[in-house]
Amino acid sequence: MQNPQNLRQKHLIISVLAPSGHQVFTWFLSLVLLRHQGDFMQKPVKRGNAWRIQVRYKNLRDTATRDTARECEQWAAIRLLEMKAEYDPQKSIERKAYFSFHALFQKYYDEVGCKKRGKSYIQQQLKIKTFKKYFGDLAEKSIYDIEAIDVRNWRDKRLQEVAAGTVHRQMCLYTSVFNYAKNELFMLKENPFAQVIKPAKPPARNRLISQSEIETILEALNYKAGTTPKTPRQYVAWAFLFAIETAMRKGEIIGITCNNIYPDYIHLPMTKNGDSRNVPLSTEARALLDLLPHADRVKLIPHTSNSFRLCWQRAVGKTELHNLVHFHDTRHEAITRLVNKRKLPVEILAKVTGHRDIRTLINTYYNPTASDIARMMNAS
């Protein structure tokens, strides 16, 4: 049995070479075969003193005008063979339906992001006004039309507006969003965010908090150490002192429930790395806890993450410590104190802080000065 491709080409050649008496028959047979294989050769049409013909193969089209119908057919037969050679299946894919960047981000949040520990950050990025502010026209551009050069241009523009660390974090998030579209939804073949170099991460903060800075912050929050907090600001001040004693993260303190408080430790059912953790309580930490009534409430701290952040920013932002002291610096301060004063070995320290990687604990959070190290070396 003859190959249909060869048979189709054979009839094209016959239609060109056959005498005029057989032209109609061979033309009809060729046309039937070509249509069946996705090809199409239109019958020549007379336009004024010339003849015009159209040929189509898959998604390729071409037309020509000749002096006679036979010349049109000759051209069409040869052109169809050329088009078969030119055909690229990758270019024949029909244009995808419109699906905006923001719509993809929403779908990612609904199916993946809402289950992540950092979902509050994703929610903040997802707000349409915020998203359009960050991305402009790119926010509503179809994901099929977003290319690496678009991401590069956005990155360069964004770097003029915010710190490199902010852009790095955003690019990590949106790389995950497009990876989801590529690897889970099979909507894309390439990830434009993954093709663009992220800004270098800024060096980790290693700032410790002095006693005078602690006093300035307590004053700004209108709190006197050793008293029961009454106002939202005072609860933030209490949490600030408690973080210095326990090395707990801000979110972990806000999330403490009273049923997880025990005489000598606090149980955290879920932490940043996805594990539970028991935080041992020093005498000072226990004394701070005793200042708060927790028998008749569910949450220890009457704050959400957002209300806590606003209280801190509004109070500390009015002092000379604005942009100098971050709440997370308490973790550096606490870990350094646990080593210098409590003499905890690094393996035990990792249990207290919840670090899986001891290198992160040592290189990022434990920040002794040269003088501190000298004292440890010379201690008897």
Superfamily per CATH, domain 211-378: Intergrase catalytic core (1.10.443.10)
- Tell me the CATH number of domain 4-88, given options 3.40.50, 3.30.1490, 3.30.160, 1.10.3470: 3.30.160
Q: pLDDT class for 167, splitting at 50, 70, 90?
A: very high
Q: pLDDT class for 95, splitting at 50, 70, 90?
A: low
Looking at per-residue pLDDT, the higher value among 243 and 24 belongs to 243
Secondary structure of 281-327 as H, E, C letters: CCHHHHHHHHCCCCCCCCECCCCCHHHHHHHHHHHHCCCCCCCCCCC
Q: What pLDDT is attached to residue 60?
A: 73
User: What are 257-275's pLDDT values in tens digits?
Assistant: 999 999 999 999 988 877 8
Instruction: Tell me the average pLDDT across 114-139.
Output: 89
Q: Look up residue 92 and give its DSSP letter.
A: G
User: What are 330-376's pLDDT values in tens digits?
Assistant: 998 998 888 888 888 888 888 888 888 777 777 777 766 787 778 77
Task: Tell me the C-alpha distance between 22 and 20, whole Å.
Answer: 5
Nearest to 327 by CA among 317, 342, 337, 336: 317
Q: What pLDDT is attached to residue 2?
A: 47
Looking at per-residue pLDDT, the higher value among 27 and 64 belongs to 64
All residues at 6 or more sequence positions from 194 whose CB lies less than 8 Å from its CB, including other chains: 175, 178, 179
Looking at per-residue pLDDT, the higher value among 142 and 273 belongs to 142
Q: What pLDDT is attached to residue 22?
A: 46
User: What are 197-254's pLDDT values in tens digits?
Assistant: 999 887 777 889 999 999 999 999 999 999 999 999 999 999 999 999 999 999 999 9
